[in-house]
Amino acid sequence: MIVDLMSKCGFPAGVVNLVNGTGIDLLEPLCSSKIPRVLTTIGSTQMGRRMIEYSHSSIKRFSLELGGDAPVLIFADTKDIKSAIADMVGLKFANGGQICVSPNRVYVQREIYPMVLEECKKLAAKYSFGSGEDHSPKEEVLQPVVSEQALTRMLEFIEDAKSKGAEVIFGGQKVKRPGFFLQPTVLANVTNDMACQKEEIFGPILPIRAFEDENEAFELANKSEHGLSAYVYTGSLSTALKAQEDIMCGNVCINGAHYSIELPHGGLKQSGYGKDISHLSLRDYYDIRRITIKR
């Protein structure tokens, strides 16, 4: 639709071109060509690595927004814990969990851990399933995952976690209806050796574990090769300041998930580099040149 509108408004032909195909089909010919000077993508870390690997034919720039493995830290001193939980659960199950900044690893301070689990269970139970067209605007509707392969991967995450000691607090099953629907799933007592803590989930699974103190929380938050987004809920200014210094993510949201077109968005570590919104995103498309003239 965008390309069609550009054509209708008289945009110069050939400046913007659309090529249809899967990422796998287009990746190697696009990247190995000597024509592109800048390559951008929003995708997995694996895809970003392949793009760089295939681009050896010429020197290219990259702007890559890659895998997310977002940690959520909820401290016991949070002023409105129920709002923090609702915030986290809403973001987790939005679009069936298929959002790059979706909570992936939830860490809760020990003294409020049982209460958080119970509240997450209550919120998960409110979801129905479908496209949203058959439901009232007030209903919480859980979307399907994108394919049967994705659904199988979600079920494998759950079985792996259960086999290693995790407890399914809510959900955990395929929904008996047409489509690739998984129940909103809440896992307790997850550990670092579980696949759902090592990989980006990209589905409606919410893994939760307890932490003792601030140092352990920040250590757990950084225990990932990814660094796209992180969420911290606390009533302490010192904890908030330490979080923004210590957590190695491109986006650190404190006491609320906030994204906006004027704010730079991008990752650190294996979550890529460059920004895909805000004025900072333009840097990837401009050349900095130095000109001197001797008089």
Domain membership flag for residue 294: no
79/208 Cα distance (integer angstroms): 20
For residue 131, pLDDT over 70 is answered with no
Do 27 and 99 share a structural domain?
A: no
Mean per-residue pLDDT, 282-295: 93
| Domain shared by 187 and 88, yes or no | yes
Q: Do 237 and 205 belong to one domain?
A: yes
pLDDT at 137: 55
CA–CA dist 151, 168 (Å, integer): 17
> 65 an active-site residue?
yes
Q: Is residue 293 part of a domain?
A: no
User: Does residue 292 lie within any of the structural domains?
Assistant: no
* Active site annotation includes 31: no
Region of poorest pLDDT, from 17-26, 143-152, 201-210: 17-26
Q: In terms of residue numbers, what domain contains 276? A: 2-66+271-285
When pLDDT is cut at 50, 70 and 90, the band that residue 68 belongs to is very high
Q: Tell me the pLDDT tens digit for each residue of 143-157.
A: 999 999 999 999 999
Verify that 53 and 84 share a domain, yes or no: no
In a domain, residue 181? The reply is yes
> Three-state secondary structure along the chain?
CHHHHHHHCCCCCCCCCCCCCCHHHHHHHHHHCCCCCEEEEECCHHHHHHHHHHCCCCCCEEEEECCCCEEEEECCCCCCHHHHHHHHHHHHHHHHHCCCCCEEEEEEEHHHHHHHHHHHHHHHCCEEECCCCCCCCCCEEECCCCCHHHHHHHHHHHHHHHHCCCEEEECCCECCCCCCCECCEEEECCCCCCHHHHCCCCCCEEEEEEECCHHHHHHHHCCCCEECEEEEECCCHHHHHHHHHHCCCCEEEECCCCCCCCCCCCCEECCEECCCCCHHHHHHHCCCCCCCCCC
Active-site hit among 9, 28, 53, 65: 65
pLDDT (mean) for 282-289: 91
Domain-located, residue 196: yes
Whether 167 and 37 map to the same domain: the answer is no
Question: 26-49 pLDDT, tens per residue?
Answer: 899 999 999 999 999 998 999 999
Q: Which of 33, 26, 61 is nearest to 47 (CA)?
A: 26
- Averaged over 132-143, what is the pLDDT? 69
Beta strand pairing status for 167-170 and 226-227?
A: unpaired
Q: What is the mean pLDDT of the chain?
A: 94
In the predicted model, is pLDDT for residue 132 greater than 60? no
**Cα 42 from chain centroid?**
11
Q: Are 53 and 165 in the same domain? A: no
**What's the CA gap between 133 and 156, in Å, rounded?**
30
**pLDDT at position 15:** 87
CA atoms within 13 A on the CB side of 105: 29
291 belongs to a structural domain: no
Question: Do 109 and 225 lie in a common domain?
Answer: yes
Report yes or no on 257 lying in a domain.
yes
- Decide if 130 is inside a domain: yes
What pTM was computed for the model? 0.92
Residue 19 pLDDT = 87
Same domain for 59 and 6, yes or no, is: yes
> Which CATH number goes with the domain that contains 247?
3.40.309.10
Domain count, the chain: 2
pLDDT above 80 (res 81): yes
Residue 58 CA: distances (Å) to CA of 14, 42, 62: 23, 22, 12
60 within 8 A of 171, measured Cβ to Cβ: no
The catalytically annotated residue of 100, 120, 196, 249 is 100
| pLDDT tens profile 211-264 | 999 999 999 999 999 999 999 999 999 999 999 999 999 999 999 999 999 999
Q: Is the pLDDT of residue 271 over 70?
A: yes
Task: Kindly state whether residues 58 and 102 are assigned to the same domain.
Answer: no
**Same-domain check for residues 18 and 95:** no
Same-domain status, 142 and 276: no
Weakest mean pLDDT among 74-78, 207-211, 248-252, 279-283: 279-283
Decide if pLDDT at 133 tops 60: no
Same domain membership, residue 55 and residue 176: no
Percent of the chain with pLDDT over 70: 97
**Res 134 pLDDT > 90:** no
